[in-house]
Structure 1
Amino acid sequence: MPRYRLDIEYDGTPYAGWQRQAGHHSVQAAIEQAIKSFCGEEVSLRGAGRTDAGVHATGQVAHVDLARDWSADKVRDALNAYLTMAGERVAILVASRAVESFDARFSARGRHYLYRIVNRRAPLALEKNKAWWVPKPLDAEAMHEAAQALVGRHDFTTFRSSHCQANSPLRTLDRLDVGRSGEVVEIRASARSFLHNQVRSMVGTLKRVGEGAWTAADVKAALEARDRAACAGLAPPQGLYLVAVDYAGT
């Protein structure tokens, strides 16, 4: 059966997350329904990252096997047509043929996330549900400095959800950068894989540093505590974006 790679963009606001869930609408289910409408096949789509409810993507990747050898452009255009007709906030950016061994999840060598904070006194109008509104002034330089304590291989128990199903809390964080452009503070995180709620937990902690309530030493101490109770807080999902997934040869 021909295997297709799908590069996907979505607004996570109306969805219960990426993963199909009984009784809730998900991004995965929306695309699977579009595939069924297109070619009549009931498929199980595998995605590179299981984003939570309200989390967005500009670079999610998934793969699917179809019975017929369709052209990649036909797959992209047909799925987008059915997604649009269904009123979904999902777009297939690229569809491409993939080798049989390609697996959107297990072949991934790196995942990249962006977290956006709008730091101003006025509430959000145009960017509501697309960023975290923080009215108290943030020191982005202090946040970046503190973030470096988290880069490297660590036990991230403090920064993962109590519901995380990963076998180990050990992860290697390749990048955690904080920068400001006007009123927007951006946090960029890169790793081969992340624990459940890891990025949002790190952002919530760095926000406390930006407000002056915590120091870089406090962040390091929280990491070393290996205790979820030591986390300063969980950032809301609206500001988080899965922006890219790395694979060999791409």
Structure 2
Amino acid sequence: MNDTPRRLAIGLEYDGSGFRGWQQQKDGRTIQPLVEQALAKVANHPVQVTCAGRTDAGVHATCQIVHFDTTAQRPLHAWLLGGNSHLTPEISLQWVRPVAPDFHARFSARWRRYRYIFLNRLARPAILRRRVTWYYRPLAAEPMHEAAQHLLGEHDFSSFRALGCQARHPIREVQSVSVTRDGDFIYLDIRANAFLHHMVRNIAGALMCVGRGERPSDWLAELREARDRSQGGVTAPPDGLYLVQVGYDAQFDLHPEAVIPRYGFV
């Protein structure tokens, strides 16, 4: 019997609307303990998972990456099917694969990509409730896109940082950002080496001010340089936010799976 632990990586998706976020908490329903409990039942031993990015309450993921170590010898499909059989319907493992012992879901990640989705129409949604951010007043996507370009590069993002953020410093590198419209949907896509607490939601809130015509496009440059959260816009709701992609070096061979799934509106 081989008792040497091996490391496995998992890609999973979840509807975060009924959870208080990813990380285990003393009070409230969170995603991490449910994933660990499901995998422990397959492994027949306790399992502790590490994720690429801890999502907040109400935030969704289409490609969260986690890793864990196990001495259990199971075929990969047993982890996938067995794990899902023990999970609540809002959480689903999408793939499982072995990785090198030095792979770390969080610290090996080179970048993360988030997508924020606005449903911009007069009528509120029913089917997409809590899965998009509905806004009934017209939003102009082109000025929002122009404004977002002021965030590219490495900057101090204190103006977009939650007051309770525990990151050691506010410096982050935004590698790409765009705002596009497709019918009634407006998509904010942003990729960075890492994100601060509420960073994407605060950016989305500021862009709403531009989209409504209340602020010019270059206001985001002024806001970025102010390094003062109190000067920013509102924090957009979590409903429209999705973790959609995590990038790793080619040596870990995870890029084929780490793509944005096509769900029509996501």
Scaled to the shorter chain, the TM-score interval is over 0.9
Q: Does 1:5 align with 2:9?
A: yes
2-structure distance, mates of 1:185, 1:149 = 19
Unaligned 5+ runs, structure 1: none
Instruction: Sort the Cα spacing of 1:130 and 1:90 in 2 relative to 1 into closer, same or farther, 3 A.
Output: same
User: How far apart are residue 75 of structure 1 and its match?
Assistant: 0.7
User: Which deviates further from its counterpart, 179-188 or 64-73?
Assistant: 64-73
Q: Tell me if the contact between 1:30 and 1:88 (Cα under 8 Å) persists in the aligned partners.
A: no
Q: Does 1:151 align with 2:155?
A: no
1-structure distance, mates of 2:158, 2:100 = 36
* 1:59-208 to 2 correspondences below 5 Å: 59-83=63-87, 87-208=88-209
User: How far apart are residue 36 of structure 1 and its match?
Assistant: 2.2
Q: Tell me if the contact between 1:2 and 1:69 (Cα under 8 Å) persists in the aligned partners.
A: no
1-structure distance, mates of 2:232, 2:176 = 19
TM-score by length of 2: 0.91
* 1:220-239 to 2 correspondences below 5 Å: 220-239=221-240
Q: Tell me if the contact between 1:11 and 1:55 (Cα under 8 Å) persists in the aligned partners.
A: yes
Q: Which amino acid in the other structure matches residue 134 of structure 1?
A: Y
Q: Tell me if the contact between 2:155 and 2:173 (Cα under 8 Å) persists in the aligned partners.
A: yes
Question: Residue by residue, what CA displacement relative to the aligned partner does 1:102-140 show, whole Å, maximum 9, x if unpaired?
Answer: 000000011010000000000111100000000000000
User: Which deviates further from its counterpart, 153-162 or 214-223?
Assistant: 214-223
User: How far apart are residue 197 of structure 1 and its match?
Assistant: 0.7
User: Matched residue pairs, number?
Assistant: 247
Q: Tell me if the contact between 1:56 and 1:242 (Cα under 8 Å) persists in the aligned partners.
A: yes
1-structure distance, mates of 2:188, 2:20 = 24
* 1:209-248 to 2 correspondences below 5 Å: 209-248=210-249
Partner of 2:30: 26
Q: Which amino acid in the other structure matches residue 117 of structure 1?
A: F
Partner of 1:50: 54
Q: Tell me if the contact between 1:115 and 1:187 (Cα under 8 Å) persists in the aligned partners.
A: yes
Q: Tell me if the contact between 2:179 and 2:186 (Cα under 8 Å) persists in the aligned partners.
A: yes
- Identity of aligned pairs, percent? 39
Q: Tell me if the contact between 2:44 and 2:72 (Cα under 8 Å) persists in the aligned partners.
A: no
Aligned to 1:9, the other structure's residue is in SS state strand
User: How far apart are residue 73 of structure 1 and its match?
Assistant: 1.5
2-structure distance, mates of 1:80, 1:18 = 17
Aligned to 1:124, the other structure's residue is in SS state coil
Partner of 1:14: 18
Q: Tell me if the contact between 1:160 and 1:228 (Cα under 8 Å) persists in the aligned partners.
A: yes
TM-score by length of 1: 0.97
Aligned to 1:76, the other structure's residue is in SS state helix
Question: Residue by residue, what CA displacement relative to the aligned partner does 1:130-179 show, whole Å, maximum 9, x if unpaired?
Answer: 00000000000000001111111110000011111111111110111000
Q: Tell me if the contact between 1:47 and 1:61 (Cα under 8 Å) persists in the aligned partners.
A: yes
Aligned to 2:86, the other structure's residue is in SS state helix
CA-based RMSD of the aligned residues comes to: 0.9
1-structure distance, mates of 2:248, 2:74 = 23
Q: Which amino acid in the other structure matches residue 74 of structure 1?
A: A
